[in-house]
A and B are shown apart, each in its own frame.
Chain A
Amino acid sequence: MSDTNSKKVKITLNGKEIEAPAGQNLLDAADANGVEIPRYCYHPGLSVAGQCRMCMVEVEGNPKLQIGCNIRCSDGLKVISDSEKVKNAVKWSLEYHLVNHPIDCPICDQAGECGLQEYYMEHGQYKSDMHEQKVNKQKVVDLGDHIVLDKERCILCSRCVRFTQEISKTSEFGIFNRGDRSVIGTVDDKPLTGNYQVNTVDICPVGALTSKDFRFEQRVWFLDETESVCSGCSKGCNVFVHHKKGKHIYRLKPRFNEAVNSYWMCDKGRYTYKDSNYDRRLSNAKMAGVDIPYSEAIQTWASDLRVLVATERTDEIGVWISPHHSNEELNSILDTFSGKLKVTKFYSENIEQIVQKDESVDGFLLRSDPYPNSKGFLSTLQGKKVKTQSTDDLIQTIKKGGVSHIVLICPEGQRILPEMLKISKVLSPFQFVIVLTPQLAAMEIFSAALSLPTLGHYEKTGTFINHAGIVQHTAAGFKMFKESHSVTDILNDLMIAQAKPAETRERMAT
């Protein structure tokens, strides 16, 4: 994040003339042009430290090698990064980093995405000249709820130190002692605090800082990567979802987006994947707790709707929605119920109030609005001229007997569960309840209802509007359960089944 001007300058990198913004860091300029200069301590989101000496380059007019991360692009700069002299320097630099490294890759969680492993394959010298005993340091240091520190594996790049100084502003990490006894750590190994701890694991180029949540869970080379947007709050941080063949999500990692979250994300958002994971998910359509096929569930729902439509009682339908859904899902919900079935009773939380009160919780990323698409929710409702009432209104209407057909389109997450519990307490056998949810817990609350599994947040494709009005697209990369469908697909199937019962039955059977 160098302060770059819009002015472009011409620099020569390995004999090739390239254009770069004036003042841009040389490593960033090299990255943009496909030249890889090895680095450990340099991170584009942090200040320059010059700790690791891996990015040595030759600069014309300078007799000695110098570090690339401390060079800003200026007109006429001539840099060579692939000469023998540079390669030799990088090789010995890496050897020096490995002097006291324990090489315990088999038990290290970083193995597979480790900077040492990657550069060793390219620049390593394969035959160590080091015959001294390695300096032993503390291993498995517990640093609070999220992080485990291994002081032996650390190469003292100081990325985590700079992160806690510059980004999270907690200044917890420091380098202690001198020489080969230098270690990274907190004072008296005190646990870390704050909501941005796990970012230090992401930026750690080696396995010194590892996440407790991911500890020993899976080797990283088994993981597949899908791009998505966090569901934790209205910030909408860009994330990578790491999962194994779509059957088990293991972790979320921040994805760079300068306009939204830069290189970071909060710990609260990082653990939102747990609600989308297989063990908390509804895998099959259920009627009163018994598994039924998807087509049968749609038929059951459609036949009840047909009665209501035929007797012109569609005003007895109540629909509960929330801004956890994408714009496309909300559109199809409103098209179906407001447009085709002329339903007027929509219920949700008081989203307008939540959006008005929305503010940054800690002055950085996390916001008070817990929904990823509140803005999209309000604009979609405005576009369709639909107004929602509160959950308490729904409870009052149920008590009065004003609704007999209740559709609850629940998202995942713990937040909606208390409201669902309140609704479930006033229900009687006279109401037909349909729960569209990805979550097992929501289905269990309405044990007598018809439950249909929907897609989890990280399986959806759609657009979400964050607090600043930025529209972000998520692409579906995997599907955890065969029987789960998107809300849009379910409502489409419902409308077809409702209109043409016999034909649909045939279509679904095939």
Chain B
Amino acid sequence: MSNLIRKPTLESKSYLIGIFKGLMITGRHFFMNLLGLSKRPTIQYPEQKRNYSSKFMGVHVLTKKENGEIACTSCMLCATNCPAECIHIVAAESPNPKVEKYPAVYEIDLLRCVFCGFCEDACPVDAVRMGRDYELAELAERNFVVGIDYLMNRPALNNKNISVFHEPHKVVTKTAVGH
């Protein structure tokens, strides 16, 4: 047993030196940052915002047709492809007689979502895209389950979320739509 108990070394006995060394580092960083002498990675967040890459994937966007109807046909390929199982769709007969199927409910649980963008890849009609919004503070958990109203019509989108298949004057090649 005795060889298991280590005898205190000289270094650990003089622990005050260690504490002093540590305080030196803390103090150095404190004064360097205070006087602006070091390169600071932090920014003044709400006033100043970071530029994200064009590939950044934030909160999803549901696109529209020209007439303002939802572009989604509720084929549920996004829900199938979703690794987090956070997309909930209820399909229904569309009120528009020219459209057969549309999503009566399209909900994304943003707390479950891992923002991988697989839903965007799976969508055959460019109905769901990854947006650029990332400020997602809410008070209640239920507020993170967002529906069509938020995903398609939130003010930040400026009504510019038109599906490429429904953009005016845009020619979609035949191979892109199917057989």
| Among B80, B93, B124, contact of A216 (Cβ-Cβ < 8 Å) | B93
Q: How far is the CB of A88 from chain B (nearest CB, A)?
A: 19
State in angstroms the CA–CA spacing of A101 and B179 once bound together: 9
Complex CA gap A435/B102 in Å reads 43
- Whether, in the assembled complex, B157 has its beta carbon less than 8 Å from a beta carbon of chain A, the answer is no
Say yes or no: is B178 at the interface (Cβ < 8 Å to chain A).
yes
Nearest opposing residue in chain A for B97, CB measure: A140
B32: CB under 8 A from chain A?
Answer: no
A383 within 8 A of B: no
Query: How extensive is the interface on chain B, given as a class?
Result: 10 to 19
Assess whether B93 is in contact with A103, with CB atoms less than 8 Å apart.
no
Contact: A106 with B77, CB < 8 Å? Answer: yes
B77 contacts A216, CB within 8 Å? no
Q: Is the CB of B125 within 8 A of A106?
A: yes
The interface residues of chain A lying within 8 Å CB-to-CB of B73 are 106-107
Provided the pairs A128-B179, A216-B93, A219-B80 are in contact, do residues A105 and B75 lie with their beta carbons within 8 angstroms? Answer: yes
Decide: A107 and B101 in contact? CB cutoff 8 A: yes
Q: Which of B77, B92, B93, B101 has the most CB of A within 10 A?
A: B101
Q: Point out which of B100, B101, B179 has the most chain A C-beta atoms below 10 A from its C-beta.
A: B179
Kindly report which residue of chain B lies nearest to residue A103, judged by CB atoms. Answer: B178
Contacts of B93 in A (CB 8 A): 215-216
B74 is an interface residue with CB less than 8 A from chain A: yes
Taking the complex as formed, is A221 at the interface, i.e. its CB lies under 8 A from any CB of chain B?
yes
B76 touches A219 (CB 8 A): yes
Say what secondary structure dominates the interface of chain B.
Answer: loop
- Interface readout for B82-111 with A: 1 if CB under 8 Å, 0 if not? 000000000111000000110000000000
A107-B75 in contact (CB<8A): yes
Contact between A106 and B124, CB atoms less than 8 A apart: yes
CB contacts (< 8 Å) of B92 on chain A: these are: 216
| Shortest CB distance A137–B (Å) | 14
B100 and A139 contacting across the interface, CB-CB below 8 Å: yes
Is A98 in contact with chain B by the CB < 8 A criterion? yes
| Given A98-B179, A216-B93, A219-B80, residue A107 in contact with residue B100 (CB < 8 A) | yes
CB distance from A171 to the nearest CB of B (A): 29
Given A107-B100, A107-B101, A216-B93: A221 and B80 interface contact (C-beta under 8 Å): yes
Whether the pair B100, A140 counts as a contact (CB closer than 8 A) is yes
Select from chain B the residue with minimum beta-carbon distance to A101.
Answer: B179
Smallest CB-CB separation from B90: which chain A residue?
A216
Closest Cβ of chain A to B125, distance in Å, is 7
A418 to nearest B CB, angstroms? 35
A216 touches B74 (CB 8 A): yes
Q: Which residue of chain B lies nearest to A128 when distances are taken between CB atoms in the complex?
A: B179
Bound together, the chains give a CA A103 to CA B124 distance in angstroms of 12
Q: How far is the CB of B133 from chain A (nearest CB, A)?
A: 27
- Residues of B contacting A101 in the complex (Cβ-Cβ under 8 angstroms): 179
Chain A, range 294-314, C-beta contacts under 8 Å to B = none
Q: Which residues of B contact A139 (CB under 8 A)?
A: 100
By beta carbon, the residue of chain B nearest A99 is: B179
- Contacts A105-B75, A106-B73, A107-B75 given: A216-B179 contact, CB under 8 Å? no
Closest 6 CB pairs of A and B: A106-B75, A216-B91, A107-B101, A103-B178, A219-B76, A103-B179
Using CB atoms and an 8 Å cutoff, list the residues of chain B in contact with chain A: 73-77, 80, 91-93, 100-101, 124-125, 178-179
Q: List 14 A-B contacts (CB under 8 A).
A: A106-B73, A106-B75, A106-B77, A107-B73, A107-B74, A107-B75, A107-B100, A111-B75, A140-B100, A215-B93, A216-B74, A216-B91, A216-B101, A222-B76
